Structures are given as C-alpha cells and as structure tokens.
Amino acid sequence: MKSIRFVLAVFLAAPLRAQNGPLDAFKGNIAAIHTRNRAAYLSHYLHTPALARVGPDGLRQGYDSFAAGAGASW
C-alpha cells in the first residue's frame, strides 16, 4: 500500500514541477521588459517566419519584423 501511495505522489507531483518552466519563462519575459533588456526579451520568442502576433492591426507573422520593433516604445 505504501508503494502505491509513493507512485501516486510521484505521478501527481510531476506535472506540478513541469509547470515551473512556463511560469519561469513568463517571469523572465516580464523581467526583461522591466529592465528594458531587449536581447533577453527577444530570447523568449521563437525565431521563425511563422511567429504569429495579434494587435490592433490584426494578425501579423514573422520574427524579423517583430524583433525590429521590439523595445521601440520602452
């Protein structure tokens, strides 16, 4: 019975540990914005032409155009 509890505890704890990855990425992204660290900010985005962004002008794609304007309003 103890071994079943142990396996169950490990099984349930694994997803909780995995959630720190996205949370750490989010916190790092926000920290980069606060410190106006453009390189750190851009490191959180996938460098691909398929990068999708939505804004007031609608859907836009592409990392290069995104990176060109990143930090301009800081």
CB 25 within 8 A of CB 43: no
Domain count, the chain: 1
59 domain-assigned: yes
Calpha distance 69→65 (Å, rounded)? 7
Q: What is the pLDDT of residues 25-43, one digit of tens each?
A: 999 999 999 999 999 999 9
53 domain-assigned: yes
**For the chain, what is the mean pLDDT?**
84
CB 49 within 8 A of CB 62: yes
What global pTM score does this model have?
0.65
Q: What is the pLDDT of residues 40-62, one digit of tens each?
A: 999 999 999 999 999 999 999 99
Q: Which domain holds residue 62?
A: 2-69
74 domain-assigned: no
